Structure 1
Amino acid sequence: MTTHRTYQGQQLELFQARGGDIAARDAQDLMSWPFFSLAKSRRVRPIDFKMGDVAIRVEATAEHGMATIWDADILIWAASQIVEARDKGLRTSRFMSATPYEILTFINRDDSARSYERLKAALDRLQSTTVVTSIRQPSERRRHRFSWIAEWKERLDDRGRPLGIEMILPDWFYAGVLDNALILTIDDAYFDLTGGLERWLYRLVRKHGGRQTWGWSFDLEHLHLKSGSLSPLKHFCYDLRSIVQRQPLPGYHLAIVGDPDGRTRLTFKPLLTDRLAAPLKLKRRKSARL
């Protein structure tokens, strides 16, 4: 296994992922803005988003399609590993190595051959999707361009069986993970959410609602814009109402209310009896070897 890599003139030391119970952490920039496709079908149409001084353009290839919000689970795993190691005084790096088993069990997926193939397809989408953004740039005229994964490769034994995966994360993502103010702990139950819209909504609610007693609210047109969804506003609102009826988001209660000015808003606030109202507990993840 390679222990050092030179990438774009930088000498990177390998960071070996750790197993065991690790709290899931998410990057707030990724929770707030439309960076991923919310559809399970292949998306190649770009996301082109502007709001105030925030500009984001996400581009996909026809071969792989755009990275999805399910693919972003790998980035949550990476952020969780980096923060956990840093907090324990260990050296971290954006050059990471792990077994497929370690990644799959963390994001609550089974260890089947099918899951491994899906993992590799997700890594391909993360590597081939390109992002251009003004977020965290010192000047409004500056833009940072990157892929969610700069490089990745799998290591195989003599029989072609998987030994591990190595990947290099982009500077933009890695710098945000190392900034404590830009990281939030999320509920493990997030990985059980099956719909793209409800996954996106949980991340947005966790970012903006947090643990505030009175929660937060957005009007539906604003939510539609922030989602980057290709779904028409009418269908988007219908899907939101279905989510409100089902109440699937761990730790939060959702409601749709009408404003006096005629606008419709989604409100959300934390459930006081939930884990987010108290110190977060870690869920023991099942482990099984590939």
Structure 2
Amino acid sequence: MPRRLPPKGDFQPDFFAASFADIPIRDQRDTMERPFFSLAKKPRFDPIEYHVGDVWLEVSANPMFGMATIWDADILLWASTQITEAIDRGMPGNRTLKFHPHNLLKSIRRETGGDHYVRLRAALERLTHTAVRTNIRANGKKKFASFHWLESWTEVTDETTGETQGMTITIPDWLFQGIVMKGGVLTIHEDYFLLTGGIERWLYRVARKHAGHQEIGWQFTMRQLYEKSGSTARFSDFAIDVRRLVELNQLPEYSLYLHRNEQEEEVINFLRRSQLGVDDPNYQFERNPKRRLTPAAVRWID
């Protein structure tokens, strides 16, 4: 599946050109491999129920707004990035962020026209009304956390022009604690935001979480991936989509390979492109993951 083109004015500096404003994109690692979000652009109202071993999670959609999607989650990635960067610079972190939507949209590599502000508001509503229950990080089989992806969001508009003057979002404590804990976030490639397919985006996050920088990468059977994805598609259709993505092999940073194991199950291997031989056509030089973002795009609320 081809990536969409970056929006006009989306300048990605050469990876050697580091500057104080360069900020690596961060993702909260607990959310990267499990089915916390809908992978479909069509509104999803059916719940997600995931139980593997002692780990479980349940995601419920609001009948008015539908379930938060993996594209909506870009807002949470932006929040993770801002919070982590602030803490790295010695600033106190906070669950509430104030920003102008133009800056957020630019940071997640979206267009900034009027229609995109409407889509942003719709995404904020889905994140606010999607309910999650899970025992991940609950420290006990009988304990669990219950939350929404956003506790609240606000917008201030000009009474005369109707133009937005700023927004705030408040993320749940479960997500905030996952961001600030040691090893709680992973840096991801900024081209992730340009991936257009839901399964494609999810596969990249799985690859980044598990294969990471390992020399031998990581692998899952097709069935394991299907069960982890929470996809509403039939297994056969899911497998077709994954095979197509393996054939295209266009994920940032990671190359995909498919083979069959001794049980004749399809297995997908994820291997970092920089770990390949330099003569391999899929090889890519390891690059600096930072990109220039607009400074002063966020304020902390006491």
* TM-score > 0.5, shorter chain as reference: yes
d(CA) in 1 for partners of 2:24, 2:189 = 8
**Structure 1 residue runs of 4 or more that deviate by more than 6 Å after TM superposition:** none
- 1:41 aligns with 42
Q: Relative contact order, CA 8 A, sep 6+: which one is greater? A: 2
Contact kept in structure 2, 1:32 and 1:204, CA below 8 Å: yes
Contact kept in structure 1, 2:187 and 2:289, CA below 8 Å: no
- 1:110 aligns with 111
- 2:3 aligns with none
Alignment of 1:57-206 (within 5 A): 57-159=58-160, 160-206=162-208
Percent sequence identity is 40
Contact kept in structure 1, 2:222 and 2:267, CA below 8 Å: yes
- 1:263 aligns with 265
Q: CA deviation at 1:239?
A: 0.3
> Which whole-Å deviations, capped at 9, do the CAs of 1:18-72 have from their partners, x for residues lacking one?
x943210000111021100000000000000000111100000111000000000
Contact kept in structure 2, 1:98 and 1:164, CA below 8 Å: yes
TM-score, with structure 1 as normaliser: 0.89
Contiguous gaps of at least 5 residues in structure 2? 1-19, 275-282, 298-302
d(CA) in 2 for partners of 1:89, 1:204 = 30
Query: RMSD in angstroms over aligned alpha carbons?
Result: 1.7
Contact kept in structure 1, 2:259 and 2:268, CA below 8 Å: yes
d(CA) in 1 for partners of 2:79, 2:182 = 15
Q: CA deviation at 1:180?
A: 3.0
Task: Give the AA of the match of 1:227.
Answer: S
> Which whole-Å deviations, capped at 9, do the CAs of 1:86-140 have from their partners, x for residues lacking one?
0000111001111001110010001100111100000000000000000000211
Task: Give the AA of the match of 1:255.
Answer: Y
Note closer, same or farther for the CA distance 1:131–1:38 as it changes in structure 2 (3 Å cut). Answer: same
> Which whole-Å deviations, capped at 9, do the CAs of 1:191-241 have from their partners, x for residues lacking one?
000000000000000000001111000000010000000001100000000
TM-score, with structure 2 as normaliser: 0.86
Contiguous gaps of at least 5 residues in structure 1? 1-18
- 2:11 aligns with none
Aligned length: 268
d(CA) in 2 for partners of 1:155, 1:21 = 28
- 2:230 aligns with 228
